[in-house]
Amino acid sequence: MKSHYRVVVIGGGVVGASVLYHLAKFGWPDVALVERSVLTAGSSWHAAGGVHALNADPNMAALQAYTIDLLSEIERESGQPIGLHMTGGITVASAPARWEWLQSAYRIFQTIGIEDCHLMTPAEIKKACPVIDIEGVIGGLWADREGYVDTTGTVQAYAKCARLRGAEVIEHNRVLELHRKGDAWQVVTEQGTITAEHVVNAAGLWAKRVGRMVGVDLPVSPMEHHYLLTENIPEIAALDRELPLVVDLEGFTYMRQDLKGMLVGIYEIQHKHWMMDGAPWDYGIELLQEDIDRIGDELALSFKRYPCLQTAGIRKWVNGAFTFSPDGNPLVGPVPGVPGFWSACAVMAGFLQGGGVGKTLAEWMIHGEPEADAWPMDIARYGDFAANKEYIKQTTGQFYSRRFVMTYPNEQLWAGRPLKMAPAYEAMTAAGARWGCSWGLEVPLYFAPRDFVETPSLKRSEAHDIVAAECRAVRDAVGLLDISGFSRYEVSGPNAERWLDRLMAGRLPKPGRARLAPMLAPSGKLKGDLTLFNWGDGSWWIMGSYYLRQWHMRWFNDHLADGVTVRDISDSIVGFSLSGPKSRALLERVTDADVSNAAFPFLACRPLDIGLIRARVGRLSVVGELGYELNCPTAAHNKLRQTLLEAGKDLGVREYGYNALLSLRLEKSFGIWSAEFRQQYTPRMTGLDRWIDWQKADFIGRAVALAERNGKGPERVLATLEVDALDADASGYEPVWSEGRRVGYVTSGGYGHRLGKSLAMALIEPRLAVPGTELRVHVVGVERGARVIRPSPYDPAGKAMRA
């Protein structure tokens, strides 16, 4: 062991070993992995070793596909056998909605490049897996890239490959303390103190404890998990080939062959947390006591699905713990507020995700950002609120129990909710608000009568007509929207303007003006689609998506300069927006100020007195109508709502929610973050280049963005499509076809109620992005006609917004 390494990775499970391997492979060989016991001594040794290509989240599926492809590479490179059995796998559906989902998912996997899968009939399933009882099975999805590995061999293979590239593995050496001294970490271990520029927390079951060494409470908890191994089963022993892996979603189990018997793993409906503060330091390579009563129902289902289990002897029960974050995805990336401290934990499926996690983190550390969009696993998708123990308990428990339960896009899950509520929450609830959740905050989706019930569905739901009425109110009169679910950052200080000018790629707004502000990473890829307000008094606001608060603050703080203060004021400032042709008439009734078009034009912003409230108002509208955003102190939220509703009664003011907002913005072809705008997209692909100020001498990402501008152009560009949909609309990631060839994919879709059309935005080959081009799109697994239409199909000239 040396006294200095560039990076110390804490933890020798599959994730730590993969991080070490990728760091060494990508050019940082001066790295050491420090392991408390021996490699695999955490969750890794007793994992079932199953690898599945498919995941409901397309980003995670891509990560898994990378990991699976990597497995044979590390086996070859290390010479260490990893027991790779690439048997192929089947995901089985035995509920109509699940079958619909599988058909839809099949198409989405095509979009992300997982081509080696196909749908199966029950008879085909039976043929591929003779021990399954197909009663009730409607269909399945086959994937070539599924199977299982020997877990210990795999961890050793990662470590050996890393060693071959110069990395070190130091076993029997617990990290005791971490101290930040100057620009480096002092890593105090049992074998002495190491100085390191970077520390990676890959401590698996102990990740919580290692986080606390630097004052961070990670939103992660270990939970128990069972699988059983049978004795030899004659039906299996008689086969001349190996069984495929089978995931029986409605049965809550996964199954693979083990020797001449079976391994059956259970996602337990009655979940159980284990050592929420992290495993004890002296926890050895040991199993937990099995609790068969707790998993009795799922076991009964598995005995029906695989009748040979009924007579098979159980060779061994495995009950082990592994870790979960609130949404089940890993926690990866630079930990906000702790320089040089990186997270690679909460990886609930290390053998199928660990490769991708290692790659992502190593790229991030070496190049400043990962190649692919890491948002779904970025640790910054959570804030302080998620460190609460009860929150972690409820959300991780919900995820675990629902691991194989279908969640519909219009379904609300209630763990950890309601947590944060704007002051007008109760009043809006009384008015019929139905709530969604953004970063712990309740946000209104739509307003419905008390007895209204929305059925979870992949297709249009009963809420369709309600949202239609809200959209019409915005188009014809005036709509009121709670905009507490926007984030707000205040930038001030003598160097605020200069700092913003470098941070944002666009021209800064003049005093009293607001402007759309694209923000780029040094790679020239997108980092934000923000709105910038210059209040004219030396203070600026940046507004964006609420759920990106921690993520944006990390970026701002990482790039902070002297003489600049950035404060996240989203908790202290909330508000409402008014949109629609009668919004000015309403505003005039509650303020003395001149808000005529001449005095308060489109994109102006200024303080205004609204009734009793001192508000800050911007004249802009996400929905493409005449509109205003009224920001007020949190304590005045209720009063602002009452004031506006009372004043607007005879103007037909109507409250609306974010479902309507999403429909309205789609009709304007206004992109949103996580759909049209993502970290791996570029300005020219997305059309954000038209907001870039190319005259500016410098801004982050300028050189690369300029090269893109002058280059041959992107392979895909954003286009707006009209879809011949019947009872369902596109939602995102559906493949787009031209003459039988995949030419792009949907970024978001929905129904445009002002136009009466099903719409989608899609990234497609530029030559096809011409109005009138006929295309095909899969919507919930069914191929539909579609055509490219002009962007902003509603009010293309933008007259309403400027009225």
Ligand X SMILES: Cc1cc2nc3c(=O)[nH]c(=O)nc-3n(C[C@H](O)[C@H](O)[C@H](O)COP(=O)(O)OP(=O)(O)OC[C@H]3O[C@@H](n4cnc5c(N)ncnc54)[C@H](O)[C@@H]3O)c2cc1C
Query: Applying CB under 6 A, does 211 fall inside the site for ligand X?
Result: no
Give the x-and-dash track for 161-200 against ligand X (CB under 6 A).
Answer: -------------xx-------------------------
Among 31, 203, 491, 775, binds ligand X (CB under 6 A): 203
Interface positions, 17-36, toward ligand X (CB under 6 A) = 34-36
**Rounded CA separation 400/391 (Å):** 14
Among 8, 9, 10, 143, binds ligand X (CB under 6 A): 10
Nearest CA to 314 out of 324, 305, 322, 303 is that of 303
Give me 436's structure tokens: 């969604």
Rounded alpha-carbon distances, angstroms, from residue 471 to 475, 576, 585, 753: 6, 16, 19, 6
- β-pairing verdict for 314-324 and 331-334: unpaired
Rounded alpha-carbon distances, angstroms, from residue 21 to 16, 150, 159, 597: 9, 18, 6, 61
CB atoms within 10 A of CB 183: 8
The interface region with ligand X, picked from 5-13, 372-380, 520-528, 775-783 by CB under 6 A, is 5-13
Among 90, 114, 141, 349, binds ligand X (CB under 6 A): 349
Mapping DSSP to helix (H, G, I), strand (E, B) and coil, where does residue 442 land?
A: strand
Among 15, 20, 131, 759, binds ligand X (CB under 6 A): 15
Q: 320 vs 732, which CB is nearer to ligand X?
A: 320
Q: 8 vs 125, which CB is nearer to ligand X?
A: 8
What is the signed CA dihedral for 62, 68, 72, 75, rounded to 10 degrees?
110
- β-pairing verdict for 184-189 and 175-181: antiparallel
Q: 16 vs 122, which CB is nearer to ligand X?
A: 16
**Rounded CA separation 34/175 (Å):** 7
CB of 191 to ligand X, least distance (A): 11
Instruction: For residue 495, give the H/E element and its range.
Output: none
Phi, psi of 516 (to 5 degrees): -70, 135
Among 25, 46, 160, 515, binds ligand X (CB under 6 A): 46
Place of tokens 């890993």: 330
Among 102, 161, 348, 362, binds ligand X (CB under 6 A): 348
The interface region with ligand X, picked from 10-18, 74-82, 156-164, 507-515 by CB under 6 A, is 10-18
Give me 12's structure tokens: 């020798």
Query: Applying CB under 6 A, does 229 fall inside the site for ligand X?
Result: no
On the 0-12 / 13-18 / 19+ scale of CB atoms within 10 A, 690 is exposed
On the 0-12 / 13-18 / 19+ scale of CB atoms within 10 A, 663 is buried
CB of 243 to ligand X, least distance (A): 15
- β-pairing verdict for 478-482 and 653-655: parallel
The interface region with ligand X, picked from 267-275, 350-358, 445-453, 670-678 by CB under 6 A, is 350-358
The interface region with ligand X, picked from 313-321, 431-439, 453-461, 471-479 by CB under 6 A, is 313-321
Query: Applying CB under 6 A, does 258 fall inside the site for ligand X?
Result: no
Give the x-and-dash track for 701-720 against ligand X (CB under 6 A).
Answer: --------------------
Contact 761, 666 (CB under 8 A): yes
The interface region with ligand X, picked from 38-46, 502-510, 591-599, 772-780 by CB under 6 A, is 38-46
Among 106, 109, 322, 364, binds ligand X (CB under 6 A): 322
Query: Applying CB under 6 A, does 641 fall inside the site for ligand X?
Result: no
Nearest CA to 43 out of 343, 384, 388, 288 is that of 288
Q: 210 vs 471, which CB is nearer to ligand X?
A: 210
Instruction: For residue 193, give the H/E element and its range.
Output: strand 192-201
Mapping DSSP to helix (H, G, I), strand (E, B) and coil, where does residue 184 land?
A: strand
Query: Applying CB under 6 A, does 48 fall inside the site for ligand X?
Result: yes
Instruction: For residue 155, give the H/E element and its range.
Output: helix 151-164
Query: Applying CB under 6 A, does 748 fall inside the site for ligand X?
Result: no
Query: Applying CB under 6 A, does 352 fall inside the site for ligand X?
Result: yes
> 436 pairs with which residues across the strands?
443
- β-pairing verdict for 782-789 and 774-779: antiparallel
Nearest CA to 539 out of 494, 573, 491 is that of 491
The interface region with ligand X, picked from 46-54, 107-115, 568-576, 724-732 by CB under 6 A, is 46-54
Q: 16 vs 444, which CB is nearer to ligand X?
A: 16
Q: 204 vs 701, which CB is nearer to ligand X?
A: 204
- β-pairing verdict for 526-534 and 540-545: antiparallel
CB of 68 to ligand X, least distance (A): 10
Q: 11 vs 701, which CB is nearer to ligand X?
A: 11
**Rounded CA separation 181/308 (Å):** 61
CA angle (202, 203, 209) in 5-degree steps? 130
Query: Applying CB under 6 A, does 375 fall inside the site for ligand X?
Result: no
Rounded alpha-carbon distances, angstroms, from residue 582 to 477, 478, 616, 652, 801: 5, 5, 20, 9, 12
Query: Applying CB under 6 A, does 14 fall inside the site for ligand X?
Result: yes
- With a CB cutoff of 8 Å and minimum separation 6, the contacts of 27 are 366
Query: Applying CB under 6 A, does 42 fall inside the site for ligand X?
Result: yes
Task: Please state the three-class secondary structure of 537-559 as a single string.
Answer: CCCEEEEEEHHHHHHHHHHHHHC
Query: Applying CB under 6 A, does 328 fall inside the site for ligand X?
Result: no
CB of 281 to ligand X, least distance (A): 7
CB of 551 to ligand X, least distance (A): 23
Give me 392's structure tokens: 């972690």
Among 114, 202, 335, 661, binds ligand X (CB under 6 A): 202
Query: Applying CB under 6 A, does 49 fall inside the site for ligand X?
Result: yes
Query: Applying CB under 6 A, does 89 fall inside the site for ligand X?
Result: no
CB of 346 to ligand X, least distance (A): 8
Q: 15 vs 114, which CB is nearer to ligand X?
A: 15
Query: Applying CB under 6 A, does 67 fall inside the site for ligand X?
Result: no
**Rounded CA separation 160/176 (Å):** 25
Q: 19 vs 587, which CB is nearer to ligand X?
A: 19
Among 47, 530, 685, 769, binds ligand X (CB under 6 A): 47
Interface positions, 450-469, toward ligand X (CB under 6 A) = none
CB of 364 to ligand X, least distance (A): 17
CB of 9 to ligand X, least distance (A): 9
The interface region with ligand X, picked from 11-19, 303-311, 509-517, 593-601 by CB under 6 A, is 11-19
The interface region with ligand X, picked from 39-47, 109-117, 394-402, 472-480 by CB under 6 A, is 39-47
**Rounded CA separation 282/199 (Å):** 22
Among 9, 20, 41, 53, binds ligand X (CB under 6 A): 41
Give me 189's structure tokens: 């271990």
Q: Edge to edge, what strands does the sheet with 526-534 contain?
A: 513-520, 526-534, 540-545, 486-492, 565-568
Query: Applying CB under 6 A, does 206 fall inside the site for ligand X?
Result: yes
Instruction: For residue 651, give the H/E element and its range.
Output: none
Size of the site for ligand X (CB under 6 A): 41
Nearest CA to 191 out of 210, 169, 208, 212 is that of 169
Query: Applying CB under 6 A, does 318 fall inside the site for ligand X?
Result: yes
Which residues in this chain contact ligand X in the complex, by CB under 6 A? 10-16, 34-37, 41-44, 46-50, 174-175, 202-206, 210, 225, 227, 318, 320-322, 345, 347-352
